[in-house]
Amino acid sequence: MSQKLVILSLLISLIHFGISNLPPLYSFAFTPTGLPTVVSGRIKTECDMKVSDSDKNDAITGNYNITLVVLAGSGDKCWSNAKYSNGDYSIGSGIIADSTNEFSYPAYIISAPTSEASEFVASGTGIFLSFSTIVEQNIYSFDGKEFELLDTVIVGELDVWIKTTITVDKITKDLVLFAVSSSTTPTIWPKLRNDVEGAIVHQDSQYNVLAMRFDIGPNMSPFNPSKDWNHGPKDWNYRYGTLKRFFVVYKSNGDEGVVWQDTVTLSVYVTWMGTKLQSHNNINLAIPTQREYYLEAAAGNNNGDIALVLLAIDPLVDDKVTSNSLKGFKFDMNGNILVEVDYDTSKNGLNIYEFFQSGASMVWNTETNQIGLMISRIMTQSSDTLNHQSCIAVIINGADMSVIKRVGQLSSHSWSNSLSVGSNGKFLGADLGDNYPRGINLHEFDANKKRNKVVYEFKTKHRPDGKSSNDNEVYTELAHNAVIEVDNSSALLVIFAGEYPSLDNSKVGTSHNAPRNIAFVKVPSDMDNKNVLSDGPVEKSHFYNFGGTKVDQENKGIVWLTGWNNKELDNASRLKAISLGTGKILVLFEKWTPSAYVSTHLMGLNENGAVIHPESTSNYNFRIPFADEIQKTNFGSVIFYSGLPGKLVRYEVVIHGKAGSGISSNKGIINGKGVTKSFLFALMSLILVC
């Protein structure tokens, strides 16, 4: 099918935001073409192979050839004997082809080793390839759904083994891979225009998920959730979470943009999506400083102005005392600096000695022109000689980025945070405290007052004396958004993932002791009202805090939405929740083993937390940034952004019954109106350009 015909087949797909009823992803499958052969993987070694080596012994030949080689390991030696290397890999040939057989790629399938090292693995096993044509080759894997670029090799000589960066000694399931000229790009993604791909990546009776992938330049590196912070519940680093990565902003005409930081260069950009997503434009929000800064948070005023807060990555002086640099900027939509502020980070100011990875949350109240900020940080040295960590709340003037009010400390330690503007105009947020207090701590604050309450508590590992603790584990993950107003803003629904039973202090010892199930508690929005509105059991316990004080604990009204019982298979993470404004709440989450991603899921609740749209497993493994807040559009859908090398990815989720901005109803309407002539002419012009 030609490119014009592909685009022509999308004629029914243009909508309010450029494309509706998008095509599905292209479907590919691997088909074996012969019986597999066992390759030892212990015969050839990297230590004795020569550049010109073309020995086909213990290799599979085809359009290009493959062999397995013992790599240099401990002591720069190649440990090829069965004590110190894995071996006996089944390798078969096959073809990867799409459903129409228009695209096909000769491929190999490699099984996990059946002969494992009897002692330990001192040398890994690498893939070497040889080719009959001199051309740069890209090597991809295929997981049954999607392609992933693994390596690029330069072919300088014919029929000579070339080392790749791909190893197989640790694989636990079949690996399908293939090589193609670097001028060919295998993809499951339909092209919408030269620099945009898009498709409906999931569709069932309950949900639609739309994705659009925007080319932003080959040297751009937005945050990639599958690569850049890929920790699971078992990992030590997981408890702290990570920074928010993508921040949705708007111009006064409704055009959407996203603020993000390049993970390699640390440059900060806003990418404006043109009217109806018909174009996109990167603008560098240039930060005039010689030091390196992390983008802690960003927010927009819906008029094109963008507020940024950035914290220097390293302390100014490594002395535990000297405060660090925190900067505030306001940019216009064209990337011009309107305001630059250096905040007082001294002990009497915001008290910041060092960056902390739990990051920050920021939201702009456009009615009051005030910006709320919650930021976790390591503080300057205190009288006990320690540099403690906590989260602090600040209110910033949207006009000049000055501090209106240092609201004060929230939780300590504070491992996660989320913030929004409540219906009463006050800032409404939550953070996850590990000691003072220990639990999910809700906050409501403005320039006059701060109020808070703890709505969920968790178990504690104590010191050997049993009378004090310093348990940094919280066995819990906040949803983002953490606090959802329901019942005409008279109540709050707090959604999280945790371990059950929540207060059993005997079930501790590691970062991950039980399945991470999804739960909620419903409480009055009045922070002084400690009642619980949801029906659930009462669980009581106590713990001794860092200072040795006994603290009684009680959880009431906790409702568990999932009932998984195998922690090796079932753990919710990257939990997202948002009200659609129609009595429905969308929940997104990833399912993980203790340390590896498995799948992505969707669920719909009512304002009492009852499941009204059953949990669904996405057909496509779309990945969700850990700490980002998802956003509701004016069309009843939900959007969030992600990244890939050289691409921004925009996801839009619709619960059926809501047309959304990216996916219309099955009747092919646009916001309730018929497709217009100008709309069709726009697509026809796109076809002619292609």
Structure confidence by residue, pLDDT tens digits, 167-178: 999 999 999 999
Chain centroid offset of residue 283 CA? 23
pLDDT of residue 179: 97
Which structure tokens are listed for 568? 């090796």
Q: pLDDT digits over 260-304, tens only?
A: 999 999 999 999 998 888 899 999 999 999 899 999 999 999 999
Give 630-650 pLDDT, tens digit per residue: 999 998 999 999 999 999 999
pLDDT recorded at residue 676: 34
Average pLDDT, integer, range 234-249: 97
Q: From residue 493, how far is each of 440, 485, 580 by CA, in Å?
A: 12, 6, 13
Distance in angstroms (rounded) separating the CA atoms of residues 252 and 117: 63
How confident is the model over 12-37, as pLDDT tens digits? 333 443 445 689 999 999 999 989 99
Q: Are 476 and 496 in contact (CB under 8 A)?
A: yes
Q: Region 85-107: what's the mean pLDDT? A: 95
- Measured at the CA of 56, the angle between CA 54 and CA 59, to 5 degrees, comes to 125
Q: State the Cα–Cα distance between residues 499 and 234, nearest whole angstrom.
A: 13
Whether pLDDT at 582 is above 70: yes
The confidence score (pLDDT) of residue 275 equals 85
Q: Which amino acid is at 563?
A: G
In angstroms, rounded to a whole number, what is the distance separating the alpha carbons of residues 497 and 578? 15
Which of 640, 644, 634, 635 is closest to 589 using CA atoms?
640
Tokens of 91: 């390798």
pLDDT value of residue 52: 63
pLDDT above 70 as % of the chain:
92
State the chain's mean pLDDT as an integer: 91
Higher pLDDT, 239 or 660: 239
Peptide bond into 194 cis (omega under 30): no
663 or 415, which is more confident: 415
ω into 388 cis (within 30 of 0): no
Is the per-residue pLDDT at 604 higher than 70?
Answer: yes
Residue located via tokens 């992505």: 600
Question: Which pair of tokens denotes residue 439?
Answer: 């639990």
Q: Which of 69-78, 325-334, 645-654, 661-670 has the lowest mean pLDDT?
A: 661-670
Q: Answer whether residue 688 shows pLDDT above 90.
A: no
**Exposure letters 595-623 (e unless 16+ CB within 10 A, then b):** eebbebbbbbbebbbeeebebbebbbbbb
Residue 683 pLDDT more than 50?
no
pLDDT 10s digits, 47-58: 988 756 777 788
Q: What is the per-residue pLDDT across 423-451, written as a single tens digit (0 to 9) for each?
A: 999 999 999 999 999 999 999 999 999 99
- pLDDT at residue 62, as a whole number: 84
Q: Which of 211, 200, 20, 208 has its CA nearest to residue 671?
A: 20
Instruction: Indicate the pairing of strand 89-98 with strand 293-300.
Output: unpaired
- Whole-number pLDDT of residue 12: 31
The whole-number pLDDT of residue 16 equals: 40
Q: Give the strand pairing for 44-45 and 65-70.
A: parallel
551 band by pLDDT with thresholds 50, 70 and 90: very high
